[in-house]
Chain A
């Protein structure tokens, strides 16, 4: 007996959600074993991870705060992947964005907030796009695989930050490798009173909606999708494939960089070595779980934000490793992409032909 995959003709409406739920259950089973091993109660841990953040205003708004950078990186990855540009460098581009934002923020003393706040986001976006330029040019001009080059620039971006913080940007008061605090006028204002939710979230949501509108409604968006679906056909149709890839890559880097600026201007107010806890890589998870839909990536970013806040409170309350949240989201990624493929096929058990 040998399994064979046969393409399904149609799908009843419930099969997708059912398989995704099955993927979620599988994720629970795998991570429950790990939680049990670390001496925690899995049921209690999952309550902390998924339910507790939703039960208090503090938990919910902290989840939104934690989702904010993922909104940016999710949109950044989704738009690149839609064009068939495999940008795995959102991490480095976000880090470059934090550098640009910090540089702007440290020099923004005396500027009115109406200039400084958009300015710092723009500085982040510019640096992010700049960081994406080399892989984008190599791909568009020489046809060099962007996966490796974007990946390799991620550790380099972190080294740039370490170098700046150990050198010119070392904290002038404490001497620690953290930058000075940026000018107050460049900080993102809080948009939800008595919480830490800041303007960066609103900007991120608008950027995402903008991408969604562009992809769906604009000619340029159509071009981008055509290049992503079939570069060969797009070229024959007379589209400038390379130019589209280049533009998309820069926009993608810019969005990721703006996400970095939003973290500097909205939360940290200074550059630190641990400014990004893998936001760029998690952006790939966000975009993939949302099946590259922009509206979907907002929802996924929120869910991952909840898991992030929840896993930290679970780790404090039950003394299980705080990295458990990362395990949950990566297992969820693997099981969900598997489920999304499986739903398209019917498994037929067939006798081996002689």
Chain B
């Protein structure tokens, strides 16, 4: 029994890492009043570009740098569309996701799979610091003990975070107070995409060590839901990510239980997604959206 629980907790931490990283990025972005629906595509393209660079240079660190650079480029595109031009944020973000996924698949075909191969690297290993629970990837520790506190500090304690919240709640007032609305939103979007690209890089460079089609598989959408569930707060998002990941880890364990052998595994795979929807249904009433959520700002 203890073994099962230990496995469950360890798996929860692993599964939760990319979700937490991506959700942290989305929190910062949405706090500035911008929705980033490109999250799924940014994770996908960073996962691909990271492993592609790593396999060409032989360095996982190079891969990580390229993955983050991919995120930054995507961030500039999204910021230009949504902040500078004021394009509908649903369309811009979904368009970005479709673009990044299709271009990653195309480049993957050109570079790796045209002769039936597949890109693989020797990924980062987990680091044991005592017991199976603490046998985790560096990413996991960084996400939980550096990323989450850092984002909390940025939002609530730094001058930049104050500006982000100001332009997210009331850009007119922020503008009058001398805050540069567009610049702040650009910064928030791009800082957000850095976190999303780390989430993508974690999956190929540490977790899996290879790139396959559909590797992100809706994780970006789950992170998006976790942000609403977490009401744009780091702590609540960690709780949400933990619950989702526990359900996910649980369904992986359930498959090994003989009594569940007859339950179609697809049903179990769908459980975590349904859990998120139930979570939103239970807690998602009257959520305090940022005041200027989805609204482009332009001086009259």
Interface residues of A (CB under 8 A from B): 5, 34, 37-39, 86, 88, 134, 138, 142-145, 147-149, 151-156, 159-160, 162-163, 166-167, 278, 281, 284-285, 288, 321, 323-324, 326-327, 329-331, 333-334, 337-338, 341-342
B162 on the A face (CB < 8 A): no
Contact B277 A153 (CB under 8 A): yes
Measured in the bound complex, the distance between the Cα atoms of B107 and A86 in whole Å is 31
Contact B95 A285 (CB under 8 A): yes
Contact B90 A147 (CB under 8 A): yes
Contact B91 A134 (CB under 8 A): no
Measured in the bound complex, the distance between the Cα atoms of B89 and A145 in whole Å is 14
Q: List 11 A-B contacts (CB under 8 A).
A: A5-B84, A37-B110, A144-B284, A152-B221, A155-B273, A159-B267, A323-B106, A324-B106, A334-B92, A334-B95, A341-B85
Name the CB-closest residue of B to A148. B225
Q: A327-B99, A333-B95, A337-B91 given as contacts; is B224 within 8 A of A159 (CB)? A: no
Contact B95 A143 (CB under 8 A): no
What's the least CB distance linking B15 to chain A, in Å? Answer: 15
Ranked nearest first, the 4 interchain pairs of A and B with the lowest CB-CB distance are A163-B266, A326-B102, A321-B109, A330-B99
Q: SS class of chain B's interface: helix, strand, loop or mixed?
A: helix
Name the CB-closest residue of B to A322. B109
Name the CB-closest residue of A to B104. A323
* Residues of chain A contacted by B269 (CB below 8 angstroms): 159
Contact B266 A162 (CB under 8 A): yes
* Residues of chain B contacted by A34 (CB below 8 angstroms): 103, 106-107
* Residues of chain A contacted by B298 (CB below 8 angstroms): 5
1/0 per position for B283-294, CB-CB distance to A under 8 A?
011100000000
* Residues of chain A contacted by B110 (CB below 8 angstroms): 37-39, 321
Measured in the bound complex, the distance between the Cα atoms of B265 and A243 in whole Å is 37
Contact A337 B88 (CB under 8 A): yes
Contact A134 B277 (CB under 8 A): yes
For the A-B complex with A144-B285, A323-B102 known, give 9 more contacts whose Cβ atoms are closer than 8 Å: A34-B107, A152-B218, A152-B221, A153-B273, A155-B218, A159-B266, A163-B267, A167-B264, A333-B95
Contact B37 A152 (CB under 8 A): no
1/0 per position for B259-288, CB-CB distance to A under 8 A?
000001111011001101100110011100
Name the CB-closest residue of A to B113. A321
Contact A334 B85 (CB under 8 A): no
Measured in the bound complex, the distance between the Cα atoms of B86 and A327 in whole Å is 23
What's the least CB distance linking A244 to chain B, in Å? Answer: 19
Contact A337 B87 (CB under 8 A): yes
Contact A148 B99 (CB under 8 A): no
Measured in the bound complex, the distance between the Cα atoms of B106 and A176 in whole Å is 28
Q: Most B CB atoms within 10 A — which of A34, A155, A331?
A: A155
Q: Which of B35, B109, B228, B270 contacts A323 (CB 8 A)?
A: B109
Q: Which of A142, A147, A330 contacts B95 (CB 8 A)?
A: A330
B119 on the A face (CB < 8 A): no
* Residues of chain A contacted by B94 (CB below 8 angstroms): 88, 281, 284
Interface residues of B in 190-207 (CB under 8 A from A): none
B98 on the A face (CB < 8 A): yes
Contact A155 B95 (CB under 8 A): no
Name the CB-closest residue of B to A325. B102
Contact B266 A166 (CB under 8 A): yes
Measured in the bound complex, the distance between the Cα atoms of B270 and A156 in whole Å is 5
* Residues of chain B contacted by A166 (CB below 8 angstroms): 264, 266
Measured in the bound complex, the distance between the Cα atoms of B37 and A286 in whole Å is 18
* Residues of chain A contacted by B35 (CB below 8 angstroms): 147
Name the CB-closest residue of B to A154. B218
Name the CB-closest residue of A to B98. A330
B150 on the A face (CB < 8 A): no
* Residues of chain B contacted by A144 (CB below 8 angstroms): 280-281, 284-285
Contact A156 B273 (CB under 8 A): yes
Measured in the bound complex, the distance between the Cα atoms of B265 and A175 in whole Å is 18
What's the least CB distance linking B205 to chain A, in Å? Answer: 23
Interface residues of B in 1-60 (CB under 8 A from A): 35, 37
Q: Most B CB atoms within 10 A — which of A148, A288, A327?
A: A148
Name the CB-closest residue of A to B285. A142
Measured in the bound complex, the distance between the Cα atoms of B103 and A193 in whole Å is 38
B222 on the A face (CB < 8 A): yes
Interface residues of B in 212-233 (CB under 8 A from A): 217-218, 221-222, 224-225, 228
* Residues of chain A contacted by B92 (CB below 8 angstroms): 334, 337
Q: A5-B298, A285-B95, A333-B95 given as contacts; is B106 within 8 A of A321 (CB)? A: yes
